[in-house]
Structure 1
């Protein structure tokens, strides 16, 4: 009996030594989980009774239980090394056999599959060509092909336009020249775009051109000037030399003092007028259109001129010449209303609009703000788009509303029709964007862009949509033309310096794989030379209701058993599954100090059980030696 008891103790102590030695041997094994031996005593018992004085039969090993406690996480230089912080196992495909492991020392094989040191493939969730993760679980594979280019279909600009900026562009109407005779006595009213009250105007029936200009200069939005031009078509050199020449010129009824005693030609007369005391008048000899030289007299302030000349035989005059009025109306003048439909209203309606300081992308003085960004065509070629912003006068009364013109240019060529008609961005009293050309979303659809090379020729990329094709937003995938959307929805107009807060576009050129990153959720991101990154897949983790029911099969891996239950598979950092720490591994959870103490205890137990056998042998020998 004692021999069997001691022998069972030796066996148990030997197992304890083996398990402890195995723990110590794997103290540096990544992902290793230490084990401990659990013992149970043995008692002999009958079918009906264990007896009144039971004596133990020794000990047996009930279980060798592994501890799945968290090991320390240490950093490595391998970007694909992963450590699980929390619950869960990596899922490995070992030639069709599924294994589970905490050892995250991974690399890439020749086919691009993520594998461990034993070429078991790591399982995870696959991604499509655009980097969208799916729920399909498969072997994770890293594609090393170049990243295909993506054309720009959306450009979002978030910026602030300085509300303190002045209006640079001025739109005017040039009215005239109007003969003062045509507007003398006219009465009309002027209407304004900013909601100002109408302004009533009456021209004196006897006004000179200068006086009419003074009256019009008093009208808000008008700037007037006057000139009087008298061309004496009958006065020639022959007339002057043909007899006794005399010449009289009155300015608004007052005679101009001239010395005509030595005049022998038109040029002499012009010089005499120019040398007079009246600085506002000038004279010159001009061709009347038929090859004949005649005298032209101009009063640059619009006074009425009366002239008479004679050769002693023939007298011409007196002839009165009224002046002309030139008027410039700025953009605040909306219309002119003359109940009699006078000549001034007719001239206003027929006058073209002239833009002073007109927008010019090459002249910084003609726009308030500008910002540029890089976009891409279907071939991955880069192009520079520039957005210009020009402040406009406030519409209506100007209360609570502000407007800016928006011009677009790509590689030096105006697009979206802004070379002739810019887009209008309207802001409310709080500086928030109300609309762009009436669109509250603030979107500008560019559908006329032809991508060109550096020589200004089409470069072979997709061009504008065909005639009659309606462009909808957002641009549907996959895009089939060069059309894209400029979104200004986040633009503001505050009393602060101009600044671009954010500018994003969704295109890029082709790129080569330059590196890999792994997120806390186990997503594998590929980094490319074009600055883009794309999800290639996501590591899957498995958990079990009874982790201790897993069966170790070596290589720091376990397999599912009936006792463990079926795996609960999901993405890292979801549910009860732990998160992923990249460029790290989980060290063995073996406590060497505790294991060395356990080794001493196992040695002591082994020696003690051996002593039991030795003592039993001595007693038996004593019995044998009885005589």
Structure 2
């Protein structure tokens, strides 16, 4: 009896030593869970023979139970290392067998699958090409291919336009171009009428005795407030027989003379061999107010005088002399916004004729190269279907208030891409209207605050189409938002958040959905276990999400080595879900869960197991000595 009792104690102490030694051996094993031995006493008793003084028969090992308490979490330098903070297990595919583990030391195999050190594939929820997570579970895989470009189809701006900005003064061409009469100007009176109702007369005197020239009239007009004038004479050497060409010049004996306001200015033609060299000779002559050039399209010589003097010319060779008729100046008259009208008391004069032939028009209209013609501008990059970047610039010009100016204000919006107008804004800008609270009411009457650009042709640096998708066919109705997949270069500019407050103009936020091609630059893992790929184009995209499993009876799992467990009948079926849902814990990226073995406690347990073993051995030794005494009885 004592022998059996002692032997059972030795066996139990030996198992205790084995378990304690195993715990100590795995003190540095990531994801390891320590075990403890649970003992039970043995009694020999039957259904009818149980007694109050039954002697025990020793001890037996009832169970070796693992403790699934949380281990410490430590940092690593691997982006794919993961630790579970809370309940749950990683799900691993071991060649078709499903295993569960708390060890999150992961990497990528040659095929891009996320695996542990034993090449078991990590299970998770897959993502589509756009990074949208699905409920389909499979092997997590990291796609190392380049991220395909995405064309811009939506640009949203949150900006403020300074309500304190003034309406820009723009010159208005009232009379247009006035051709100087052949006999010069006769006496007449021009009357300026200003916006405030006041008037002023400009007297052009009668000839006395010389006719009034274009420079004289320009000088008179320039003296008046709100009026500008300039004169230019253009003489095209054309329409004569024989024409002035290279053959005429090389026939021999060539000479050329230009007359400025009736005064002859000879040109040194000693080195002239063609029209280009003749233009150079004129530009180098004493007629320094006259410039000459050769029209590339027609091959004709052109003379220009920017003072408005009459121009004439003559040329000759050994055979022929040609006199070019005199050309008179054209005067351009402009007025600013303060001038309401400009009239002449002579209905038959050149001024009245020009006024009746042309309607007023803006002469210094919006010019993106002139900052004085717009109040504010902002630029952003957009992308075509090939991933090429382009610079889009919006120009904002404050307009006079509509109606009586109460409760509303307006701004014109011009749009350029790579320096070329789009959206038809070269002729008709978008018009944004704001209410008295500074909130955007509409753009071109659209209360959604959207500008649809449907005429953009993506071009290369040379100004040629670059092969990317262009505008939709004429007559196509452009839907907003642009449906996927897009088939043209059309895109929408959303300005619904735009305001007009009394603070400096500026962009508070902007977002556009296009990007160029990107190469994989790194990986990030969120607390929800989502794997994000970071690309060189600044984009990030979800590649998948780690799945976790929990069990009703975690103690029922069976360890199968490599810090993994398998499901058993006692554990129950797994409840699989996303991290941070239900009872499942969160994911700590670039960290691992250390072994939960307490070395101090295990070393103490080791001493206790050793003493238990020694004590049970003493029981056997004492029982042997008693038995030997009985044998030695005579």
Equivalent residue, structure 2, for 1:391: 398
Inter-partner Cα distance in structure 2 for 1:420 and 1:467: 18
Equivalent residue, structure 2, for 1:424: 431
Change (3 A) 1:72 1:332: farther
Determine helix, strand or coil for the equivalent of 2:527.
coil
Inter-partner Cα distance in structure 2 for 1:331 and 1:475: 45
Equivalent residue, structure 2, for 1:81: 81
Note the C-alpha offset of 1:386: 0.4
Is 2:392 aligned against 1:410? Answer: no
Determine helix, strand or coil for the equivalent of 1:394.
coil
Change (3 A) 1:139 1:348: same
Equivalent residue, structure 1, for 2:120: 120
Note the C-alpha offset of 1:226: 3.9
Note the C-alpha offset of 1:227: 3.1
Equivalent residue, structure 1, for 2:203: 227
Inter-partner Cα distance in structure 2 for 1:7 and 1:118: 40
Equivalent residue, structure 2, for 1:475: 482
Note the C-alpha offset of 1:111: 0.5
Determine helix, strand or coil for the equivalent of 1:426.
strand
Determine helix, strand or coil for the equivalent of 2:602.
helix
Note the C-alpha offset of 1:577: 0.7
Change (3 A) 1:141 1:327: closer
Q: Is the 8 A contact 1:171 1:331 kept in 2?
A: no
Map 1:231-270 to 2 at 5 A.
266-267=209-210
Change (3 A) 1:333 1:101: farther
Inter-partner Cα distance in structure 1 for 2:334 and 2:7: 126
Q: Deviations over 1:39-82 (max 9, x none)?
A: 11111111224123211111111111101011011111111111
1:379 equivalent among 370, 381, 386: 386
Equivalent residue, structure 2, for 1:563: 570
Determine helix, strand or coil for the equivalent of 1:379.
coil
Is 2:616 aligned against 1:609? Answer: yes
Note the C-alpha offset of 1:225: 3.9
Inter-partner Cα distance in structure 1 for 2:71 and 2:197: 83
Equivalent residue, structure 1, for 2:16: 16
Equivalent residue, structure 1, for 2:141: 141
2:440 equivalent among 433, 438, 443: 433
Is 2:152 aligned against 1:152? Answer: yes
Change (3 A) 1:609 1:378: same
Is 2:522 aligned against 1:522? Answer: no
1:499 equivalent among 484, 497, 506: 506
Equivalent residue, structure 1, for 2:268: none
Is 2:164 aligned against 1:164? Answer: yes
Inter-partner Cα distance in structure 1 for 2:400 and 2:197: 14
Inter-partner Cα distance in structure 2 for 1:414 and 1:388: 11
- Between structure 1 and structure 2, the one with the greater Rg is 1
Unaligned regions of 5+ residues in structure 1, if any? 178-208, 233-265, 271-279, 281-292, 294-325, 335-346
Inter-partner Cα distance in structure 2 for 1:222 and 1:418: 36
Note the C-alpha offset of 1:176: 10
Q: Deviations over 1:475-504 (max 9, x none)?
A: 000000000011111111111112211121
Is 2:6 aligned against 1:6? Answer: yes
Determine helix, strand or coil for the equivalent of 1:371.
strand
Equivalent residue, structure 1, for 2:458: 451
Determine helix, strand or coil for the equivalent of 1:170.
coil
Note the C-alpha offset of 1:230: 4.3
Q: Is the 8 A contact 2:172 2:334 kept in 1?
A: no
Inter-partner Cα distance in structure 2 for 1:125 and 1:361: 51
Note the C-alpha offset of 1:173: 6.9
Q: Is the 8 A contact 1:170 1:331 kept in 2?
A: no
Note the C-alpha offset of 1:353: 3.1
Determine helix, strand or coil for the equivalent of 1:577.
coil
2:626 equivalent among 612, 619, 622: 619
Inter-partner Cα distance in structure 1 for 2:553 and 2:92: 19
Determine helix, strand or coil for the equivalent of 1:609.
helix
CA RMSD of aligned residues (A): 2.8
Inter-partner Cα distance in structure 2 for 1:410 and 1:63: 76
Change (3 A) 1:383 1:327: closer
Inter-partner Cα distance in structure 1 for 2:160 and 2:549: 50
Q: Is the 8 A contact 2:205 2:212 kept in 1?
A: no
- TM (norm. structure 1) is 0.75
1:361 equivalent among 353, 368, 378: 368
**18-27 vs 601-610, which moves further:** 601-610
